[in-house]
């Protein structure tokens, strides 16, 4: 009947929207960035399609430099960034209109309420009044801030501020969402809520989550890239990375006195104090001692093995 036509049109628009988004591809080719002679990023090659990429690396590894270049804020020293085949360095507008970005040092206006701040950000992004009001209302529900929407941001907790940050990044329904160290300073409950929110958002868009906290990406990422000293060490699905250290992770109980010497000799990925001593977890290609037993690897083991090179007992990099 005729009353089905609007519903059908709405359904078709959703399909079209989804198809349009599913084509999203961002690529970097030999991307490099140097600041005053210091190489922050070197020959970085990465291709991403919809899903969540966990970008893992120690502080100072080059993660934020990469994020700022992908967000068209910083220009590369060399190399190219392509968004759906278009050169972003030459034509940043092609990406900016579909980009959502939550920088590490996301600033807020303490005297504005969440509602006022999001209205201000929508205006900056060129969104019309009616469209932006509906979008802001939807986003306040999505990030669970409806109750606090009229309160000044200055009184918000760290987790609430991060949720406002995510809301502003989602105003233009981005196809590429970049969040840089988003769980810094959050309590454990806020951290879990934030991860769940990112998972919910990832279906149709490319989400890049940059962090040095392995547990942030363990539960959410569909792919993981490990960056160290400005270079890409690995890019794969989590299960593939875990396979790389299968058979190389050991645990045993050691005494407190033995621990300093073990730290000198081995790559220790964890310690746990017990009544009868300290449970030591080590990444090593051969059994480190007769008491050591093989255990199932986790991403923390992989990450440590990849960023700790030339260390005795660490899996060879060509295996990683």
- Return the minimum-mean-pLDDT range out of 15-19, 253-257, 266-270, 296-300: 15-19
The yes-or-no verdict on residue 320 having pLDDT over 50 is: no
pLDDT tens string 127-151: 877 888 899 999 998 888 999 999 9
- Residue of 269 and 315 predicted with greater confidence: 269
The pLDDT assigned to 309 comes to: 60
11-15, 114-118, 133-137: which range is least confident on average? 11-15
CA dihedral 68, 74, 79, 82 (to 10 degrees): 60
The whole-number average pLDDT for the span 92-100 is 90
3-class secondary structure per residue, 42-94: EEEEEEECCEEEEEECCCCCCHHHHHHHHCCCCCCCEEEEEECCEECCCCCHH
pLDDT over 90, % of the chain: 57
Q: What is the pLDDT of residue 227?
A: 94
Q: For residue 129, what pLDDT is reported?
A: 79
Confidence of residue 217 (pLDDT cuts 50, 70, 90): confident
Of the two residues 307 and 28, the one the predictor is more confident about is 28
Distance from the Cα of residue 105 to its chain's centroid: 15
Q: What is the pLDDT of residues 21-63, one digit of tens each?
A: 447 899 999 999 998 878 899 999 999 999 999 999 988 889 9
C-alpha closest to that of 71 among 105, 108, 103, 38: 103
Condensed to tens digits (0 to 9), the pLDDT of residues 145-179 reads 999 999 999 999 888 888 899 899 999 889 999 99
């Amino acid at each position: 009947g005729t009353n089905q036509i609007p519903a059908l049109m709405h359904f078709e628009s959703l399909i079209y929207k989804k198809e349009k988004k599913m084509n999203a591809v961002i690529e970097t080719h030999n991307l490099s960035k140097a600041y005053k002679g210091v190489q922050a990023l070197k020959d970085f090659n990465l291709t991403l399609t919809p899903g969540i990429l966990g970008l893992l690396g120690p502080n100072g590894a080059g993660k934020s430099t990469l994020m700022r270049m992908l967000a068209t804020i910083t220009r590369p020293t060399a190399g190219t960034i392509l968004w759906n085949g278009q050169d972003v360095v030459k034509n940043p507008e092609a990406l900016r209109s579909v980009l959502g970005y939550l920088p590490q040092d996301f600033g807020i206006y303490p005297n504005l309420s969440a509602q006022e701040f999001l209205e201000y950000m929508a205006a900056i992004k060129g969104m019309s009044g009616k469209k932006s009001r509906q979008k802001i209302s939807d986003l306040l529900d999505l990030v669970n801030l409806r109750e606090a929407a009229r309160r000044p941001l200055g009184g918000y907790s760290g987790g609430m501020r991060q949720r406002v940050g995510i809301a502003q990044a989602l105003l233009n329904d981005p196809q590429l969402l970049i969040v840089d160290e988003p769980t810094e300073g959050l309590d454990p409950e806020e951290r879990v809520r934030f991860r769940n929110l990112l998972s919910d958002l990832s279906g149709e868009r490319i989400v890049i989550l940059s962090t040095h906290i392995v547990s942030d990406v363990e539960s959410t990422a569909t792919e993981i890239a490990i960056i160290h000293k400005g270079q890409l060490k690995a890019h794969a699905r989590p299960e593939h990375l875990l396979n790389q250290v299968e058979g190389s992770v050991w645990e045993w109980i050691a005494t407190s006195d033995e621990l300093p010497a073990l730290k000198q000799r081995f790559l220790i990925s964890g310690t746990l104090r017990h009544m009868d001593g300290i449970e030591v977890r080590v990444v090593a290609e051969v059994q480190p001692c007769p008491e050591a037993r093989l255990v199932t690897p986790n991403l923390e083991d992989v990450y440590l093995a990849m960023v700790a090179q030339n260390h005795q007992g660490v899996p060879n990099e060509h295996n990683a």
